[in-house]
Amino acid sequence: MRLLSASGVEKSYGDRHILQGCDLHVNLGDRVGLVGPNGSGKSTLLKVLVGEERQDHGAVERAGLLGYLSQEPILPGETVGEAMDEAIAWHAALLADYEQAMSAGDERAAARCADRIELAGWTVDHKVAAMMDQLQCPPREAPLSRLSGGERRRLALARSLLASPELLVLDEPTNHLDADTIEWLQAWLLGFRGALLLVTHDRYLLEAVANRVVEVEEGKTVAYEGSYADYLLERAERQTALAKERDRHANLLAREAEWASRSPAARSVKQKARLKRLDDLKAVPLAKTELEVKLDLRSGVHRGGALLELHHIHHGFGARQLIKDLHLVVQPGDRLGIIGPNGVGKSTLLQVVAGTLKPQRGERAVAPRVQVAVLDQARSGLPLDETVWEAAGGGNDQVIVHGRPVHVASFLERFAFTRTSHEQRVSTLSGGERARLLMARLMLKGANLLLLDEPTNDLDLHTLRILEEALLDFDGAAVVITHDRAFLDRVCTAVLAFEPAEDPLAAAEVIQYATRTQHLEALARKEATRAAAAAQAAAKANKPAAAAKATPAGISLPPSRKGLSFKEKQELDALPAQIEAAEEAQATLAARMSDPATYQRPAAELTALHAEVEKISAKVEALYARWTTLEERA
């Protein structure tokens, strides 16, 4: 069943031709990843496809229910509760249709409604509560006018997922989500039975869920079958073929032009044909070479002692403690990733490292040679009223790059800013374009300590890889807050993990790990230990109560077993070993889920793996429950 069909879509804003003939088709079961450079028109294409904007030319046809998450969502109502209630209004309407069909005696219509209700559930309140909790949405009574940008995005994502659509269209759904929530969203999308059209910079998510990748390139769409890894290989082969064709075309054009320059005296029919061929060759546009963006952040710092040290750092706000007795040493060559749930204190720590926030207690020591540069989430520090040219060069025609003068136009082209964009105001740039301009300014600054807060947000996949390469070659140190799992695994030399305490007012425990995978394995072990301790505590608490209930009032009886059968005694004796084996299997699966290579497997295998994780978790819970039951009777 075809849910979405677009042919020859064109869209312009003034003299800017964004889409120049895009074709895209989505059938039931398709999972399409939409990729392309910042400013290529991905979000514009999505808006046209869902009907938020109208195309200038071309045709768009839609069928079935559609759910849409935009980068700047508009929420209905005045409170969070009203926005969520509106998102599930379809369920109340479906129940009303079912009641009406039953009253009218229309069994066929009632059966159709019942089938849809069975899929969604006869009640959805518990799903709404669970979704809001999972996505860390504000409470229902919170006014929409006071929500932050991240809270609005998470609420809009919850609304999209609860809409029960046949086609789900998501524009950068992982922005403002922490790593655990991204893992949950990935599992949810793998289990989603409808079609999916997705724009994301999260490569693990794209690799896990997409079975087709469509690239927006020079206003047109190019489709690639398979996963994100398949797309990278096929795209490289296509670029190589285009380069060969471009060289062949240029050589042929040069030969024909050289012949024409001889001005042959006699214009024979054959010669006229060659001249026409020359005109035809000139009319054919050459395949454009892919713009090579080069980001060199090296500062020339000499390896030596520590760049920065934090000792016994304590900080919080009011009764809420965020950082407690933290020690941190940052050396040249370190690339430290800071991870943890939203609101746990990561940005606060980055401000302490930057020196813009003085801790309540503790010492911050910085080497004399340290030059700090900050890239924050708001992409601040750019002069919004200046042009791109002025912001990059400070009004000068040249900038100094590693001791050499470079023309501003050439410098900007290294960061994918075309000549036509040089006079564009910074205030009109997209988030990704602002990030690229900030990177250009960081490169000129020559900093040796980079502090990056969610640097991957709004970056296209190509620019993201370029940033990673620059950080891998960087001779200074970088401290990065990011939820991008691929970025953490590829770039960071260590991970500083905020692990929240059970008391919401207590500071999180901050532990340094060698890798993100090591952190996940430690969490899995802690969770298994916690579950075992809870089960043992429950068994001890229930055992005296059960004994007291069986004892007549005022009579003291000697301790005795309550008559387990021989088979049950054997079962009870075997349960500890079975629980241990199940928990080991659970830890092994957790390690596989945290391994980046896992998400290069086919989608069917990933779905099976998620099902296996759920199955082993249920088995562990069942074994503990059975052990508790037998212990109570022992």
- Average pLDDT of the residues in 538-543: 68
Which pLDDT does position 561 carry in this prediction? 42
Same structural domain for residues 210 and 172?
yes
313 shares a domain with 209:
no
What pLDDT does residue 528 have? 80
Query: What is the C-alpha separation between 404 and 411, in angstroms, rounded?
Result: 12
Confidence band, pLDDT 50/70/90 cuts, at residue 242: confident
Q: Does one domain contain both 318 and 467?
A: yes
Interatomic CA distance for residues 274 and 159, integer angstroms: 63
β-pair type (167-171, 195-199): parallel
Query: Among the listed ranges 153-162, 184-193, 447-456, 617-626, which one has the minimum average pLDDT value?
Result: 617-626
Provide the mean pLDDT of the chain.
Answer: 83
Beta-bridge mates of residue 17: 12
Q: Is the pLDDT of residue 551 over 70?
A: no
The most confident of 102-116, 238-252, 484-498, by mean pLDDT: 484-498
Length of the chain: 634
206 neighbors 33 (Cβ within 8 angstroms): yes
What DSSP string describes 312-364?
A: EEEEEETTEEEEEEEEEEE-TT-EEEEE-STTSSHHHHHHHHHTSS--SEEEE
Q: Reduced to 3 states, what is the DSSP secondary structure of residue 227?
A: coil
Top-confidence residue, 250 or 122: 122
Q: Is 141 part of a structural domain of the chain?
A: no
- Domain assignment present for 70: no
DSSP class of residue 15 equals T
Exposure string for 180-202, b = 16+ CB within 10 A, e = fewer? bbbbebbbebbeeebbbbbbbbb
With bands split at pLDDT 50, 70 and 90, how would you rate the model's confidence at 272? low
Q: Evaluate whether residue 589 is within a structural domain.
A: yes
Domain of residue 312, CATH code? 3.40.50.300
CA distance 39 to 16: 11
Residues 202 and 263 in one domain: no
Q: Are residues 384 and 492 in the same domain?
A: yes
pLDDT digits (tens, 9 = 90+) for 392-430: 988 888 888 877 888 988 888 877 787 888 888 888 887
List 326's β-bridge partners, or say none: 313
464 and 509 housed in the same domain: yes
Q: Within this chain, do residues 362 and 481 fall inside the same structural domain, yes or no? A: yes
555: confidence class by pLDDT, cuts 50, 70, 90: very low
- The residue range of the domain holding 459 is 308-514
**316 and 376 together in one domain:** yes
461, 152 contact by CB (below 8 A):
no
Q: Verify that 537 and 491 share a domain, yes or no.
A: no
Per cent of the chain over pLDDT 90 is 32
Give the residue from 247, 266, 283 where a domain finishes: 283
Assess if residue 49 is contained within a domain: yes
Rounded Cα distance between 614 and 600, Å, is 21
Same domain, 32 and 178: yes
Average pLDDT over every residue of 238-253: 75
Average pLDDT over residues 225-236: 89
The token pair at 286 is 């050459």
d(CA 562, CA 541): 17
> Residues 470, 524: one domain?
no
Of the candidates 352, 337, 348, the residue with the CA atom closest to the CA atom of residue 479: 337
pLDDT digits (tens, 9 = 90+) for 275-298: 666 666 566 665 555 556 667 787
527 part of a folded domain: yes
Q: Determine the pLDDT at residue 302.
A: 66
User: Cα-flanking dihedrals φ and ψ of residue 379, to 5°?
Assistant: 55, 40
pLDDT level of residue 263 (50, 70, 90 thresholds): low
- Looking at residue 542, what is its pLDDT? 64
Determine the pLDDT at residue 278. Answer: 61
Say if 274 falls within a structural domain: yes
603-633 and 566-594 helices cross at what angle (nearest 10)? 150
pLDDT of residue 4: 94
Per the CB < 8 A criterion, the answer to whether 173 and 157 are in contact is yes
Structure tokens at 89: 């209004």
Q: How far apart are CA 634 and CA 631, in angstroms?
A: 5
pTM of the model: 0.74
User: Regarding predicted confidence, which is higher, 555 or 156?
Assistant: 156
**In whole angstroms, what is the distance from residue 515 CA to residue 492 CA?**
8
Two tokens, residue 234 = 């096929």
Is 524 contained in some domain? yes
- Tokens 């793998």 correspond to 190
Residue 203, by phi and psi: left (phi above 0), alpha (psi -120 to 50) or beta? Answer: alpha
Nearest Cα residue to 357 out of 339, 340, 376: 376
pLDDT (0 to 100) of residue 261: 67
**CATH number of the domain enclosing 535:** 1.10.287.380
Percentage of the chain exceeding pLDDT 70: 85
Q: How far is CA 86 from the centre of its chain?
A: 26
The answer to whether residue 252 sits within a structural domain is yes
Tens-place pLDDT, residues 54-104: 999 999 999 888 899 998 889 999 999 999 999 988 888 888 988 898 888
Residues 331 and 457 in one domain: yes
Count of domains for the chain? 4
Reply yes or no on whether the pLDDT at 317 is more than 80: yes
Domain boundary among 514, 529, 549: 514
Q: Once rounded to an integer, what is the mean pLDDT over residues 150-177? A: 91
At residue 255, does pLDDT exceed 90? no
